Structure 1
């Protein structure tokens, strides 16, 4: 864990925050579809469940998605544990992806769905959660790392 500390820090922190926010939504909203406008017609908290992937893609695919989440999570942990030292952007990128994959994976194994609640209505975007956000932030960090010469891997 000493080799890639930011990977573990981001991965564990993101997972905990994802699970806490989903728990809060389930306990705070009485029914599916209930919504609380933070900025009316722009941004709401809306309680929905998703049996698919991020942003409701592959709806109904929770069966195989749970195994994909598990495989990605274990693969990333193996990379951080047994692989070489990653640069900072890689640690952040892979750590965010771990947080998202494991957060949604836990839900798929326990419940067969994930709880989504972040609802950007201004642009009619699918409702999503912190795990989905973490995966996208992680991908962004990895894209930046791939185009940053100072962060490129040295052979």
Structure 2
């Protein structure tokens, strides 16, 4: 994929640019590419500006903590950078949660094995639902985190929609 000004290579060939759970998840997957970036520019707006990636070609992954009957469950939400997931409405209702919030940074990092600012749906714990916005699922190729702040992945939306625990729905209202 030619997205922005980055030098993309097959992700499976560069495990040094991936968090360990992401490297395991992309092993053998076709169509996943990785590019090295300045880790100080990992945040979406700075990244897009520096590397010539349109905000509509970039997707953000957030981890939410859903509480119901005293239990806490986690899920990932993936939306284009031009959108905001309706966490308190659509996501909460879809997960059947009484209360929902963004997962605390320490929990998100500790439970995923990924760096904050690089969390990605590839390599998440197998029991977590991955809620993929329909605009991401329909996209020919989006830039997402790689599990670390020093690189990004380029992935077809159809691959993200096809993840084992993926659920495609309209996340933004």
> Quick check: TM above 0.5?
no
User: When you count helix as a share of all residues, which structure comes out higher?
Assistant: 1
Which structure dedicates a bigger proportion of its chain to strand? 2
TM-score between the two structures when normalised by the length of structure 2: 0.23
Between 1 and 2, higher relative CO (CA 8 Å, sep ≥ 6) is seen in 1
Q: Give the greater-gyration-radius structure (CA).
A: 1
